[in-house]
Structure 1
């Protein structure tokens, strides 16, 4: 699987006096160096337009959707069952430490934001009620119908700018990269700081709205194709783009797992095209579906690590947001700032090198996966073909999230 590397430049958003800026940089470089935990997010440096293979079935959490009907912003479109993946954002950190300092970028803080923003976008898109499942993933190698691939252009607690694209499982880019920027209102923290709102909710909602509009356009074409199929009959009927996307994600997974399906898809540059439809009622296809379900379980374990990370840093991150807005405001005393972020340092020291091991039971043989999120996922991927060979029944493989 190939990926196109993307290099980005960030812009320093706010101007401050030389003395204040020096104080700000010195203080924050010291304290946010404590966020070593972000080693588990190492995959965000390279995102690609080749996206891969699908997972099967929504989790109970996502299938339930939003519990409060008043929070559902749109009625459900006429579309197939679909999954959206939101890879952890590219943090847009220059390689040069000199550029980082000149642009006011603290790498550890940016890496933390790359995870946090992915979940913020997930929460807002969930409210639009269109996908059976939305997952935050380490990169674009997971299975999904659509991918929201984004990067941080600017973020300084007052201004946030995000660039993003929507890509489907075939590798088709739905729109050229778009950039949206939002400036938080003066006095926002005084009015809403003690609520669960975020100063950049309008930005996240705007992106969610755009995802909805793109999907609505595809839904119209899908409905028209269904009507044409009814008119011409089964022999001349054709599949809509949305149906081809969902089939492609299944076939991409099957091609990865089993040689039997190696020629079901054709690589055409960065795009995948269906060569033929396999027999979806065969025993081998049922085994493919079984492995997909186990992959879904594993990806949920990975997402859980990210969610727990965001939950743990949230209080300290919100404190940083408030204290750094506006950037020219007098900083709190340095000791207070250090005390606030010591919690993140303590967390980072525990999770920097390893996360909770994941155990995989394959026909009674237990394999323990250790290391970072990326190393665990890579180890899992290396086991996929063996898991397929062992999957004579749906119970052949079990995911156990932690060692006893």
Structure 2
């Protein structure tokens, strides 16, 4: 197309648009010009989908243990299958970091609904709570992300198990409106809505039993001889998972002094868990920028790797196809040559020559395509190396904690799990000292 043709085309389009605008104006000449929203502003607010839980009589406390990183394991073992780990492109330290980050994101999403009591991130499920949201990372490569949530109440009942996925657009980080936003947020929103859906089905009586069971299971931890009889257990199964179901067989007296003291210790344990939230928030704040940078830099590399795989497969496929074609043409050329020798036909000789030349060309083309596929495979290795380098950049851990209790300062060290265990052991020691005051423990 010449420049004159191009100019003529632009003028024609402009004329059509102008006439359309004039037509629209004439049809709506009596309609006032709208500035701002095209719909009238309403003073009414749509009812919240969380309203039922927000106005509930009983609010359930939720524990979100650090997610399972989802490492592949050796068959019939708890050991990591590092060969499959490498094949899957999983970097252990990055995935362990994500296990904490995903738990914090899930906690934040649930907490913002104001439909629960306390929502806490905990090192593992060995804690006291009414509801447990157990997460497992299925996939995370900055473009494709997936997780599985298992929601369990204090009675051991598995309320539901569901997997969620989300794909981040290649252009996500190019849009300035997405600045300071989490590209994975839709995933956590889906998980939040699922948990709310499950809990909205629980009536007040069921919630009360969940809370009572949580307290008595905690009391049984301190004194199984005194409170074990209030709970019965049975093994149940849901979606292929076996679990213990606890049923209340009774309740202690309201003025049970031992239970009151255990409730005090439980409050102290939860005080540590609340303090631990500061650790997780600090961890999140320190890690999120580095993690976002990893996402931002890795996302185009993931797309490039996918394109490299596609190109390699296409070229390899073309190479194989040309090799097959070369074989067919060579076979037919030989047949035509034999026919030409037998009949002396010039036409048969010409056909044989053409097919022979085609076989040579196809053979050369197959070699080129396969070599090009190998080159694409080398480019793929480069993309993998870049992603791995980015993945190894995130490596943070939880710091130590100091707790004050009854004029004592308790220093807790190690990982969050180790610190939590130390605090639980300290509280149990206090209970045992009070239960047997005349014995030196």
**Shorter-chain TM-score: what band?**
0.5 to 0.7
Q: Is the 8 A contact 1:84 1:134 kept in 2?
A: yes
Shift of 1:372: 1.9
Shift of 1:186: 3.0
> Given the alignment, which residue of 162, 165, 175 partners 1:191?
175
Q: Which residue of 2 aligns with 1:355?
A: 399
> Given the alignment, which residue of 264, 273, 278 partners 2:247?
273
Change (3 A) 1:279 1:192: farther
Q: Which whole-Å deviations, capped at 9, do the CAs of 1:62-93 have from their partners, x for residues lacking one?
A: xxxxxxx99x7622142412101111110111
Q: Which whole-Å deviations, capped at 9, do the CAs of 1:172-218 have from their partners, x for residues lacking one?
A: 0012x211111112311111576332112111111111111111111
Shift of 1:357: 3.9
Q: In the alignment, is residue 157 of structure 1 matched against residue 142 of structure 2?
A: yes
Q: Which residue of 1 aligns with 2:61?
A: 83
Q: Is the 8 A contact 1:169 1:246 kept in 2?
A: yes
> Given the alignment, which residue of 276, 283, 288 partners 2:257?
283
Q: In the alignment, is residue 263 of structure 1 matched against residue 229 of structure 2?
A: yes
> Given the alignment, which residue of 102, 114, 118 partners 2:99?
114
> Given the alignment, which residue of 86, 93, 96 partners 2:71?
93
Shift of 1:379: 1.9
Q: In the alignment, is residue 201 of structure 1 matched against residue 196 of structure 2?
A: no
Q: Distance in 2 between matches of 1:320 and 1:357?
A: 29
Shift of 1:263: 2.0
> Given the alignment, which residue of 269, 276, 280 partners 1:306?
280
Q: Provide the aligned C-alpha RMSD in A.
A: 3.0
TM-score norm. by structure 2 comes to: 0.61
**SS in structure 1 at match of 2:188:** helix
Equivalenced residue count is 295
Q: Is the 8 A contact 1:182 1:203 kept in 2?
A: yes
Shift of 1:156: 0.6
Structure 1 residue runs of 5 or longer lacking an equivalent are: 1-68, 223-239, 393-404
Q: Which whole-Å deviations, capped at 9, do the CAs of 1:300-357 have from their partners, x for residues lacking one?
A: 233322221121111110011011113134999x999979976x45xx4xx5xx8324
Q: Distance in 2 between matches of 1:249 and 1:243?
A: 10
> Is the helix fraction higher in 1 or 2?
2
**SS in structure 1 at match of 2:175:** helix
Q: Which is higher, the Rg of structure 1 or of structure 2?
A: 2
Q: Distance in 2 between matches of 1:165 and 1:335?
A: 34
Change (3 A) 1:192 1:84: farther
